Amino acid sequence: MEHLTKLKAIIEKYLPEDVDVASIQLESKFIEELNINSAHLVDIVLDVEDEFDIMLENEDMDKMKSVQDALSIIEAKIKAA
């Protein structure tokens, strides 16, 4: 749960002004639903790396369609570390 809170705080920084923070849900899709552009997704990946002290590969990023996808990747990486 703590991981999700941290992830939400990162996503919030890149939300467009017309998207409410409350709309960040586990099933939310970054691009289609949260209206985060692909350039900002790059920044989210970098912030996630810093926050969780992990490294995300390009393939990980390709799989990150929703908040749940991101959370699963983060938790897998932490476990593997």
Partner 1 sequence: MGRRVVITGMGVCSPLGNTLSQFTTNLYEGKNGIRFWEELAALNFSCQLGGKPDLSEIELTNYFAKNQLNGLQSTGIIYGMIAATDAATQAQIQPSDSTNWNLGVQFGTGISGVAKFREAIYKIDESNVRRLGSTSVYQTMSSGVSALIAGKYGAGNVVATNSSACSSGVEALLLGFERIQHGKATQMLVGSTSDSGPYIWGGFDALRVLPRKYNAEPEQASRPMSASASGFVPASGAAAFVLEDLETAQKRGATILAEIVGGNVNSGGMRSGGSMTAANPEGIQRCIQAALNNAQVEAHQISSINGHLTATTKDSFEIAQWKEALGLAAADFPPINSFKGHFGHALAASGAIECVGVVQQLVTQQRFGNRNIEEVHPQIVHLVPEEKITFSSSTYPQNYIIKASFGFGDVNACIIFKHYQNT
Positions touching partner 1 (CB under 8 A) are 13-17, 39-40, 42-43, 46, 49
Say how far apart CA 80 and CA 24 lie, in whole Å.
27
Q: Whole-number minimum distance, CB 77 to partner 1, in Å?
A: 16
Rank residues 43 and 53 by Cβ distance to partner 1 and give the closer one: 43
Rank residues 34 and 71 by Cβ distance to partner 1 and give the closer one: 34
Say how far apart CA 78 and CA 70 lie, in whole Å.
12
Cα separations (Å) of 24 from 17, 21, 77? Answer: 13, 6, 22
Rank residues 1 and 39 by Cβ distance to partner 1 and give the closer one: 39
